[in-house]
Structure 1
Amino acid sequence: MLRSADTTQAEVQSRPQPKSASSAGWFRFVRRYPLGALGGAILLAMILTAIFAPWLAPHDPQQTSVEMQYAPPGKGLILGGDHLGRDVLSRLIYGARISLSVGLLSVGIGVTAGALIGVFSAYAGGKIDMVVQRLVDALMGFPPIILALGLMAALGASMNNVVIALVVILLPGTTRVIRSQTLSIKELDYVMAARSIDASPMRIMLRHILPNVAATYIVLSTITLGFAIVVEASLSFLGVGIPPDVPTWGGMLTLGASRYINTAPWLAIFPGLAITLVVFAINLLGDSLRDVLDPKLRGGI
């Protein structure tokens, strides 16, 4: 009996342990949505590159050298040199810090504030909802880039002001989307049941409505992150964004496309490829997350 018990215990210990739910979920996501997994991997690589920029950059992004002026891509400089003899690769790596920081900050503040305002406006209803929606209509009446240009002209060129401008243009769209979803959720049975037991409005919004708009919030965050990076690059391209001495993808693209596209085309090609790659990765990830989190699309082709 003892021997059989020891044998059974040894067999149980030798059996492969089941994978955790999280690892199985990630494996299933990678298998069902390979393009979304590829986009997430590219975005993660960009974030790690921005974090470890001082260790990855081969040169100081502000260091100039007469010998490296207009140097074509080669062994000495992998992506070449610019008009001041600065390493393009090093400036691209440090530029990832600015572009991703501006994108993550503006999306984190703008989409979160827009979601909270949308939930509150829809649940409160009445005059409060009418006032909030008229303000949203006023902001949505301006094209996003025109509104951002006006704000930057009034506030001045700096990273913080770019974030403020992006938050303002992200607020109305997020508020409108979350409000429309909240209007349908607040009429469902479980919300009516919470009202019948005299639950406070704050408890209903936090415990019953916000968790049910979380999927929409995540999808909006991923989609608007790419939009925020493009707008930041556009503002730098137009010369009203982050100051030109700070390495940013938009600023590098501006310089290369406006002045040196014929003599040194790599000054515009590589920043443009970086912006295209990160926006493409974010859109792939956002589309896959929408398919996973939206019950209407889950399981579709």
Structure 2
Amino acid sequence: MGLISTNTSKIDRLAELTAATEHSTGASLWREALRRLRASKMAVIGAVIIGLFVIVAIIGPWVAPYGPIEQTWRGEVFPNQGKFVGARAENWFGLDQLGRDLFSRFLVGARQTLLVGVVSMLIGLVVGAVIGAVSGAAATLGGRSGQRVDSFVMRVTDIMLALPSLLLAVSIAAVMGQSLTTVMIAVGVVQVPIFARLLRGSMLAQGRSDYVLAARSLGIRKRRIVLTQIMPNSLSPVIVQATLSLATAIIEAAALSYLGLGNPDPAVPEWGVMLSSAQRFFDNAPMMSVYPAVGIIITALGFTLLGEAMREALDPKLRG
């Protein structure tokens, strides 16, 4: 009886040492990744762009010189005659077809654009991570039933991946109806299979690691290994993909708004809605389209640069 107790205490102690070693190693890897990010010009540029975008989104409604829905200068604009007011001292970006200040609408619209992008990404991340974790855990734990669960889940995600992302988003938005919430859900659903496949593949790769073999040799239960070891060490590529998906979500949300599937109230400023409204007047007032388009492009570029820099910083093959 005493021998069994001694062996059990040794196994527990070895498991604690293994977990502590993995924790310290993971921490050092994250510190090294942070150091590489600081030294990367691409990461710095991306972070600066994202920082400016977030600041504008937060303070935009308070620093906007005019109300975004106020038609103060409507008498100066004649869309039917092709007469628009361009940039001037009191209206830095000019006026839209209803006499509203474009600069104010641009500032306020940044918040809606950020909200749509972040919420869409979070929907895809949370749902996809749950699906990927279930599939990865089922495949890692083994057993015939686990393999069947993994196979079924992956076939469903393959079907979703086989459909063009924008077509799938448009189909979901068309079924659910025109609203900002619909855009968030539609774009988020498109992101789900990407996160699910990525986390599942990362968990399978971690499942063949030496520390997992060592943990199994100590007699630690597979479920505990999956939850405390494999899962935490599989999240790095998912975090990187979340950054990249933010750029994709912003572009796809703008595309849905451009197609008329976004917010049904065009008075509410959002860069995609602004771009959609301006397309009719592109010949006479092209800058109405240029401002929101440039905002979307630069913001997506910032998230893409930071995401690529994070991918390189966390890639073990690229560490010197």
Could you state the TM-score of these two structures normalised by the residue count of structure 1?
A: 0.86
Query: What letter corresponds to residue 102 of structure 2 in structure 1?
Result: V
Q: Relative contact order, CA 8 A, sep 6+: which one is greater?
A: 2
For 2:258 and 2:98, locate their aligned partners in 1 and report how far apart those are by CA, in whole Å.
19
Name whichever of 125-134 and 108-117 sits farther off: 108-117
Choose from 38, 43, 55 the match for 1:48. Answer: 55
Choose from 43, 50, 66 the match for 1:36. Answer: 43
Partner of 2:114: 100
SS in 1 for 2:163: coil
Choose from 251, 254, 264 the match for 1:230. Answer: 251
5+ residue gaps, structure 2, are 1-27, 78-83, 140-146
| Kept in 2: contact 1:185–1:209 (CA 8 A) | yes
CA distance 1:23–1:186, change in 2 (3 Å): closer
For 1:142 and 1:24, locate their aligned partners in 2 and report how far apart those are by CA, in whole Å.
38
Higher helix share: 2
For 1:235 and 1:38, locate their aligned partners in 2 and report how far apart those are by CA, in whole Å.
28
Choose from 53, 57, 60 the match for 2:64. Answer: 57
What does 1:152-231 align with in structure 2 at a 5 Å threshold? Answer: 152-231=173-252
- Identity of matched residues, %: 36
Deviation at 1:167, TM superposition (A): 1.6
Query: What letter corresponds to residue 269 of structure 1 in structure 2?
Result: V
SS in 1 for 2:122: helix
| Kept in 2: contact 1:110–1:171 (CA 8 A) | yes
For 1:288 and 1:25, locate their aligned partners in 2 and report how far apart those are by CA, in whole Å.
10
Partner of 2:277: 255
5+ residue gaps, structure 1, are 1-20
| Kept in 1: contact 2:128–2:192 (CA 8 A) | yes
CA distance 1:183–1:29, change in 2 (3 Å): closer
Deviations 1:189-228 (A, max 9, x none): 3223334445455432332122212220121011111000
Partner of 2:136: 122
| Kept in 2: contact 1:236–1:242 (CA 8 A) | yes
For 1:29 and 1:178, locate their aligned partners in 2 and report how far apart those are by CA, in whole Å.
23
| Kept in 1: contact 2:94–2:101 (CA 8 A) | yes
Choose from 134, 137, 156 the match for 1:135. Answer: 156
Query: What letter corresponds to residue 173 of structure 1 in structure 2?
Result: I
Query: What letter corresponds to residue 252 of structure 1 in structure 2?
Result: M
CA distance 1:246–1:205, change in 2 (3 Å): farther
| Kept in 1: contact 2:44–2:306 (CA 8 A) | yes
CA distance 1:24–1:116, change in 2 (3 Å): closer
For 2:135 and 2:281, locate their aligned partners in 1 and report how far apart those are by CA, in whole Å.
50
Q: State the aligned residue count.
A: 277
Partner of 1:269: 290
| Kept in 2: contact 1:215–1:294 (CA 8 A) | no
Query: What letter corresponds to residue 229 of structure 1 in structure 2?
Result: I
For 1:293 and 1:117, locate their aligned partners in 2 and report how far apart those are by CA, in whole Å.
23
For 1:216 and 1:27, locate their aligned partners in 2 and report how far apart those are by CA, in whole Å.
18
CA distance 1:205–1:93, change in 2 (3 Å): farther
For 1:193 and 1:215, locate their aligned partners in 2 and report how far apart those are by CA, in whole Å.
22
| Kept in 2: contact 1:236–1:250 (CA 8 A) | yes
For 2:186 and 2:36, locate their aligned partners in 1 and report how far apart those are by CA, in whole Å.
39
SS in 2 for 1:296: helix
| Kept in 2: contact 1:68–1:81 (CA 8 A) | no
SS in 1 for 2:247: helix
Could you state the TM-score of these two structures normalised by the residue count of structure 2?
A: 0.81
Deviation at 1:164, TM superposition (A): 1.0
CA distance 1:199–1:269, change in 2 (3 Å): same
1:278 and 2:292 correspond: no
Name whichever of 227-236 and 63-72 sits farther off: 63-72
For 2:118 and 2:218, locate their aligned partners in 1 and report how far apart those are by CA, in whole Å.
40
For 2:223 and 2:70, locate their aligned partners in 1 and report how far apart those are by CA, in whole Å.
54
Deviation at 1:118, TM superposition (A): 1.4
Name whichever of 152-161 and 67-76 sits farther off: 67-76
Deviation at 1:117, TM superposition (A): 1.9
Query: What letter corresponds to residue 298 of structure 1 in structure 2?
Result: R
| Kept in 1: contact 2:199–2:235 (CA 8 A) | no
